[in-house]
Amino acid sequence: MPLSAPRLRTMLDELTRQYGVPGASIAVWSGGAMKEAAAGVCNIETKVPVTSDTLFQIGSITKLYTTALAMQLVEEGKLDLDKPVRDIIPDFAVADEEVAAAVTLRHLLNHTSGIDGDFFKDAGRGEDRVEKYVRLLKGVKQIHPLGQMFSYCNAGFVVAGRMIELATGKTWDKAVRERLAKPLGTPAFSTLPEQAMRHQTAIGHVGQPGALAVTPITYLAQSNAPAGSMPMAKASDVIAFARMMMNDGVAATATPILSAESVHQMHLRTVTCPPQMNIDAIGLGSFLWDWNGDGHYDVFGHDGSTIGQAAWLRYHTESETAVALLTNGGNGKGLADEMLAAIFSDSAGIQPPEPPAPARDGMPEVSRLTGTYGKASGTVEISVKDGALVAMHKPAPDFAALQGTYAVELRPLSETLFIGTMQGYTRPATYHFLEEDDQGRALYLHTGARAHRRVE
């Protein structure tokens, strides 16, 4: 039995307060009908109330839109998933020339390029900003070899955005508005601040729940928009995208957006994530989940995170249930966990599994795990303190505004898998120690959906 609209509003209102979330908007499609609710404020200083028409930054949910654009162009024969990126961007370069020559659009869309994806240099605000960003990648190194594993790569989606620009002859912003936002019937979907200004918008909040402040930086770099730095939308706008995906590529406006085969390709597993991670597998652009544990991926979507804002999209095609939740600070993950479990349990008869919990007593041998692992966004130092394994996260200078230094105590699930919960939050993160270097030490630390290579 789907949640009633009054119950949805009551839950959202109660849980935003419980998890210290300043404001939230949710849209639910189930039983052939839309329900919407909003709670809290857009800005803790102005105290303007959130409504269902408030725009929030959707962050990396944008990657689904970029992938859909790419798949449209694959259908038109203008792009190819398995040909080198250089067929479209002849001067494409990263630090590893062999990777630059061999990497494909498929590698970019399923996060297996191995390129260090947290490269957030600002390439300016001109219409050539995506092109300029891609040129800046020439010095970016590999985290892992091409195609070896899944490691979340924002940079790859900006490259895909540039391929879209060259294939369409339009900027990524114009392409996404003309090819997706307009035919989906979502005119409020905004890719630039001057578009969002026509609507009520939410601002991000940083800091721990209970001690939040309005973020001093409203947006990430505009040049990173194809990866999710800029787009803002109503929760119902995001549901419009999900409904299209659940309807074999046809929008609620009856406009064909994608072929059924392209939707299938986006939902088809291309790489499996490390076990007990909060994502089970990756399709093309899409996150995949097997909530029933039957080996069948039947829940799809993506998460999004910008400066002080976080968003979630989940949809279950079999029950035609979709949920879009947008938040602007605090422990949004805790809020999302409870809302998603309640809604999908009632509407679809399924729900996300419980977070992993320690399954063993005592500490395994950890000498091969300790050390420092790093990537462009910073380092994670693994050490033993007072008998406990501790992860010290230290951001690189360019990332200090996104996340400060913090420590997490790790608890073992196995010899190579640990979990730890950041202060002020409720959902634990997984820490996988993968492979071995020539000294028998773990070569990679995989956490936060990203591989970090050992540097010490």
Rounded Cα gap, residues 385 and 447, in angstroms:
20
Rounded Cα gap, residues 281 and 302, in angstroms:
11
Nearest to 418 by CA among 354, 380, 364: 364
- Among 25, 30, 60, 223, the active-site one is 60
60 a catalytic residue = yes
Nearest to 287 by CA among 275, 273, 274, 276: 273
Please give the C-alpha separations between residue 388 and each of 289, 357, 393, in angstroms, as whole numbers.
Answer: 32, 16, 16
Contacts 24+ apart (CB under 8 A), 294-298: 297/267, 297/269, 298/350
Q: What's at 330, amino acid-wise?
A: G
SS3 annotation, the chain: CCCCHHHHHHHHHHHHHHCCCCEEEEEEEECCEEEEEEEEECCCCCCCECCCCCEEECHHHHHHHHHHHHHHHHHCCCCCCCCEHHHCCCCCCCCCHHHHHHCEHHHHHCCCCCECCCCCCCCCCCCCHHHHHHHHHHHCCECCCCCCCCCCCHHHHHHHHHHHHHHHCCCHHHHHHHHHHHHHCCCCCECCHHHHCCCCECCCEECCCCCCEECCCCCCCHHHHHHCCCCEECHHHHHHHHHHHHCCCECCCCCECCCHHHHHHHHCCCEECCCCCCCCEECCCCEEECCCCCCCCCEEEEEEEECCEEEEEEEECCCCEEEEEEECCCCHHHHHHHHHHHHHHHHHCCCCCCCCCCCCCCCCCCCCCCEEEEECCEEEEEEEECCEEEEEEEECHHHCCCCCCEEEEEEECCCCEEEECCCCCCCCEEEEEEEECCCCCEEEEEECCEEEEECC
Q: Give the residue numbers annotated as catalytic, written as ranges.
A: 60
